[in-house]
C-alpha cells in the first residue's frame, strides 16, 4: 500500500502544559506532506519528527484561534531562511492573510517564495484540494467562530497488474492500461482471459477525517462515514460536559459516539484541556462507547 | 543571599533544530520574573521550567527578529485566558506595539489586562527599569537592525543585623535602621559599639549581562565589567568567522575575549547556529580564551 501516515506534532488545547504543544498534525500521503493546523511550536515539532520542509506545500487551518495558527509566522519565516522557492498554499477560513501580512512583511523583508492564501467558506462542504491521488474536502463544524474540519480521501486506484500472468499471456504493453482499468484480454487466437486472472484488485481508497474544534455534530456523520481514521477533538471528560457545551467543544464519549455512528475504523482523540493531568480518564470514557479509540500524543505517528 | 537565578528557555537561533528552542530566558530576582526575549515556544518552556506566570510582569525584547519575539502572541493570549489582571510591561526597540496590535486585537477579543509597551532607543545605554532592589539598563549592540542587550544590576543592599549582638547590647528597635546603614551604637552609658560588631557586611550586589544578537563590540566592555554572569551569543565557531561578520554575529572565541577583557566571573554562550550538531566545539574554542565558560541549554537553571 502507498504511504499514508499521520504525525501528531501537538495535541493540547490553548493553555500550555508541560506535556503538550498546541494543535498541529502532518499527514504524509505518498511523501507529499499536508499540515493540518499550525499551533505555536509546530515547526520545532516538525523538525523533531524528521519531516522534510521541502515536501510541505499545503497547510490547512481549521479556524482562526491562536492555538491553531500561531506557529505560522515562525514556520513561514524558517522556510524563507531556507531559501524556499516553491509556492506555499495556505487554506483557511477568510481573514488570515490580512492578519498575517503586516507581520510577515516586517519580519521577512525579502521573501524567496510566494504564499498563496486560499480562503474557504465554512458553511457547506467544499472540495478545496485535489491531485492525482487525493482530494481534500472541508467538514463544516460548529465552534465559537467559523471552523471546518478536513476529509482527506484517496482516489480509487487502478487494479494491480500481475506481471507473471501478463508475461505468460504475452499481453502487449499498449494493452496494460486497459487491463488496469478492468478490461479482459483477448489473445490472438480469440481466447478471452478474464481480468481477474491478470490483476489483483486495487487497495481500497483510504480516508482520514479531522474534526477540531467543535460541538459534537450529527451532520458530520454522513461525510466521515467509514473513514479509516477519525481524529476528533475531546477537549473535556464527560463530567465536564456543561463546560464543553459552553465553550463549543466535545467530550470523550461524545467523540466516541460519533465514531460509532459513522462506523469509522479507528478513533484518535486529542485537543486535551490542560485541566487533566491524566488523560487515560478520557480514553476510558471513549473506549466504553467505541473500543478502537486511542489518545493522540506528541510525536506519535500512525499508519492509516 | 537573595535569589537570583537564570532559566534558559531557549538558546537556538532562527532555524529550528531538534534540540533547541529559539531565544528566551527568565531571570528570577527575589521571585520577580524578568523575561528576556520571547522566541516561539517560550510559554511552553516557561511552564516546563515550573515558573509562575503571575510572577512575570516585565518582558525585555532585544530586537525585532522573529526568533526573539514570535512567542509573544501565544504568551500574551495565554495570560489572557488565565484571566490576568496585572499590567504586563514589554520593553523593546520601537515598532513592536504597532506590529502586534492587529493580531492581538483579533485573537483576544476581550483583554482581561493591559499591556504597556515601552519602546527604548538603542544608541545609548538607558535605564529602562528600576525597583527597590534592581535596575535594568540597555546595552547598545550592533546587529542588522536596532538591538540592545540588558544589564540587570542589584542595588547595594544594607548590612545584615547580627540579631544575637543587638539583643546582647539591648539595641532599641528604632536604632536598627541606622545600624543597617552603617552607624555605630552608643549604649546608655556612653560606650561606642562599632558597627562591625553588630552587623555583617551586605552581600556584594550582583550583575547579569545579556548580549544577543551582535557583532563582538568593545564598547560593551565598560558596561559589563565585573559582571557575575555574562550571557553572550556565540552563533558561530571560529572557522565560520567570515559568516559571523557578514550576518552581524559573534564567534565562540570572540565572546570569550569579551568576557576576558571585561573581567566577568562566568560566561554562558548560546544562540547556536543550527549548523553545529555538536556544540562542544564552540565550548572548547571559548574555554581556550576564557576557561569559566559554559554552554547554554534548554531548561538549564543557574544561580548567580
User: Model confidence over A190-220: pLDDT tens digits?
Assistant: 999 999 999 999 889 999 999 999 999 999 9
- C-alpha A24/C-alpha A39 separation (Å) is 6
Q: What residues contact A290, with CB distance under 8 A and at least 6 apart?
A: A256, A257, A259, A260, A267
Q: What is the dihedral of CA B233, B236, B237, B240, to 10 degrees?
A: -150
> What pLDDT is stored for residue A97 in this prediction?
97
- For testing the chain A interface, which of B11, B41, B48 should be mutated: the one with the most A CBs within 10 Å? B41
Quick check: A57 and A89 in contact, CB under 8 A? yes
CA A59 centroid distance within chain: 10
CA dihedral B51, B55, B61, B66 (to 10 degrees): 50
DSSP letter (8 states) at residue A206: P
Please list the pLDDT of chain B residue by residue as tens digits (304 residues): 889 999 999 999 999 899 999 999 999 999 999 999 999 999 999 999 999 999 999 999 999 999 999 999 999 999 999 999 999 999 999 999 999 999 999 999 899 999 999 999 999 999 999 999 999 999 999 999 999 999 999 999 889 999 999 999 999 999 999 999 999 999 999 999 999 999 999 889 999 999 999 999 999 999 999 999 999 999 999 999 999 999 999 999 999 999 999 999 999 999 999 999 999 999 999 999 999 999 999 999 999 9
CA distances in angstroms from A172 to A158, A162, A163, A202, listed in the order given:
18, 14, 12, 21
Distance linking the first and last C-alpha atoms of chain B:
10
Query: For residues B34 and B27, is the Cβ–Cβ distance under 8 A?
Result: yes
What is the β-pairing status of strands B56-60 and B88-93? parallel
Query: Are the C-beta atoms of B40 and A40 separated by less than 8 Å?
Result: yes
A51 pLDDT above the threshold of 90:
yes
- CB–CB contact B81 A106 (8 Å): no
Beta bridge partners of A119: A92
Mutate to test the interface with B, among A44, A107, A298 (most CBs of B within 10 A): A44
Helix (H) or strand (E) segment spanning residue A245: helix A241-246
Closest CA to A206 of A61, A35, A30, A7: A30
CB contact under 8 A, B78 and A102: no
* Ramachandran quadrant class, B63 (left: phi over 0; alpha: psi -120 to 50; beta: rest): beta
Check residue A235 and give its pLDDT: 98
Nearest to A78 by CA among B139, B45, B238, B22: B22
A52–chain B nearest CA distance, Å: 12
Residue environment code for B101-122, b if the CB has 16+ CB neighbours within 10 A, otherwise e: eebbeebbeeeeeebebbbbeb
Q: Rounded to a whole number, what is the distance in Å from the CA of A98 to chain B's nearest CA?
A: 9
Q: Do B73 and A95 touch (CB under 8 A)?
A: no
Predicted local confidence at residue B16, as pLDDT: 86
CB A12 within 8 A of CB A272: yes
The CA distance from B244 to B276, in Å, is 14
Q: Which of A303, A204, A221, A213 is nearest to A264 (CA)?
A: A221
Q: What is the pLDDT of residue B157?
A: 87
What local confidence, expressed as pLDDT, does residue B75 receive?
98
Separation between Cα atoms, residue A217 and residue A222, nearest integer Å: 11
Quick one: pLDDT at residue B109? 87
Q: Indicate which of B42, B66, B83, B96 best probes the interface with A, i.e. most A CBs within 10 Å of its own CB.
A: B66
Nearest CA in chain A to B67: A74
Catalytic pick from A37, A67, A213, A238? A67
Q: Quick check: B66 and A107 CB within 8 A?
A: yes
For residues A72-78, average pLDDT: 97
User: Which of B5, B31, B37, B67 is the catalytic position?
Assistant: B67
Q: Which residues partner with B208 through β-bridges?
A: B152, B229
Alpha-carbon distance B198 to nearest alpha carbon in chain A (angstroms): 48
Evaluate whether B40 touches B22 at the Cβ level (below 8 Å): yes
| Helix, strand, coil distribution of chain B in percent, nearest 5 | 30, 30, 40
- DSSP H/E element including A242: helix A241-246
Q: Taking an 8 Å Cβ-Cβ cutoff, which residues of chain A contact chain B?
A: 14-18, 21-22, 40-41, 43-44, 46-48, 50, 64-67, 70-71, 73-74, 77-78, 81-82, 95, 99, 102-103, 106-107
What is the reported pLDDT for A16? Answer: 85
- At B172, list the grid cell: 532599641
* A200 bridge partner residues: A160
Cβ pair B218, B249 in contact under 8 A: no
Q: Measured in Å, how far apart are chain A's first and last C-alpha atoms? A: 10
Please give the torsion angle defined by the CA atoms of residues B32, B37, B38 and B42, in that order, rounded to the nearest 10 degrees: -60
Tens digit of each residue's pLDDT (9 = 90 or more) over A211-250: 999 999 999 999 999 999 999 999 999 999 999 999 999 9
Q: Which of A288, A196, A191, A201 is nearest to A238 (CA)?
A: A288
CA distance B181 to B202: 10
Rg (CA), chain A: 22
B278: Cβ–Cβ under 8 A, 6 or more apart, which residues?
none
pLDDT of A127: 98
CA distance B162 to B141: 44
User: Catalytic residue at A67?
Assistant: yes
B119: number of CA atoms within 13 Å, CB side?
10
Among B47, B70, B95, select the one facing A74 at the smallest CB separation.
Answer: B70
pLDDT at residue A109 is higher than 90: no
Beta strand segments in chain B, E: 4-10, 24-29, 32-38, 56-60, 88-93, 115-120, 127-130, 134-140, 148-154, 160-161, 185-186, 192-193, 199-200, 207-211, 229-233, 266-270, 293-295, 301-303
- Measured CA to CA, the distance from residue B228 to residue B49 in angstroms comes to 23
Instruction: Flag the least confident range among A59-63, A70-74, A156-160, B64-68.
Output: A156-160
Angle at B249 between CA B244 and CA B250, to 5 degrees: 85
DSSP E strands: which ranges in A168-275? 185-186, 192-193, 199-200, 207-211, 229-233, 266-270
Q: What is the DSSP letter of A272?
A: B
Grid cell 545609548 is found at B124
Q: What share of chain A is helix, strand, coil (3-state, %, to 5)?
A: 30, 30, 40
Rounded distance between C-alpha atoms, residue A72 and residue A23, angstroms: 12
DSSP designation for B66: H
Amino acid at each position: 500500500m502507498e504511504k499514508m501516515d499521520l504525525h501528531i506534532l501537538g495535541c493540547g488545547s490553548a493553555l500550555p502544559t508541560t506535556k503538550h504543544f498546541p494543535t498541529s498534525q502532518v499527514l504524509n500521503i505518498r511523501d507529499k506532506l499536508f499540515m493540518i493546523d499550525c499551533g505555536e511550536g509546530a515547526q520545532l515539532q516538525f523538525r523533531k519528527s524528521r519531516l522534510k520542509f521541502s515536501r510541505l506545500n499545503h497547510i490547512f487551518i481549521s479556524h482562526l484561534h491562536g492555538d491553531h495558527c500561531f506557529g505560522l509566522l515562525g514556520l513561514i519565516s524558517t522556510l524563507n531562511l531556507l531559501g524556499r522557492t516553491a509556492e506555499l498554499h495556505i487554506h483557511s477560513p477568510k481573514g488570515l492573510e490580512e492578519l498575517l501580512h503586516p507581520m510577515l512583511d516586517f519580519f521577512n523583508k525579502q521573501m524567496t517564495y510566494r504564499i498563496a492564501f486560499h480562503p474557504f467558506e465554512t458553511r457547506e462542504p467544499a472540495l478545496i484540494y485535489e491531485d492525482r491521488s487525493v482530494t481534500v474536502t472541508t467538514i463544516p463544524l460548529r465552534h465559537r467562530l467559523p471552523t471546518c474540519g478536513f476529509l482527506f480521501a484517496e482516489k480509487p486506484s487502478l487494479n494491480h497488474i500481475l506481471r507473471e500472468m501478463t508475461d505468460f499471456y504475452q499481453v502487449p504493453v499498449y494493452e496494460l492500461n486497459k487491463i488496469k482499468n478492468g478490461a479482459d484480454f483477448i489473445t490472438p487466437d480469440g481466447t478471452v482471459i478474464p481480468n481477474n486472472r491478470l490483476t489483483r484488485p486495487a487497495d481500497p481508497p483510504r480516508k482520514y477525517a479531522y474534526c477540531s474544534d467543535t460541538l459534537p455534530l450529527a451532520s458530520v456523520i454522513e461525510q466521515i462515514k467509514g473513514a479509516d481514521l477519525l481524529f476528533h477533538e475531546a477537549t473535556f471528560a464527560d463530567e465536564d460536559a456543561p463546560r464543553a457545551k459552553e465553550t463549543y467543544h466535545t467530550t470523550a464519549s461524545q467523540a466516541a459516539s460519533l465514531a460509532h455512528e459513522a462506523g469509522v475504523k479507528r478513533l484518535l482523540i486529542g485537543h486535551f484541556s490542560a485541566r487533566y493531568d491524566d488523560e487515560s480518564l478520557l480514553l476510558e470514557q471513549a473506549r466504553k462507547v467505541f473500543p478502537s479509540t486511542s489518545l493522540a500524543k506528541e510525536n506519535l505517528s500512525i499508519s492509516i
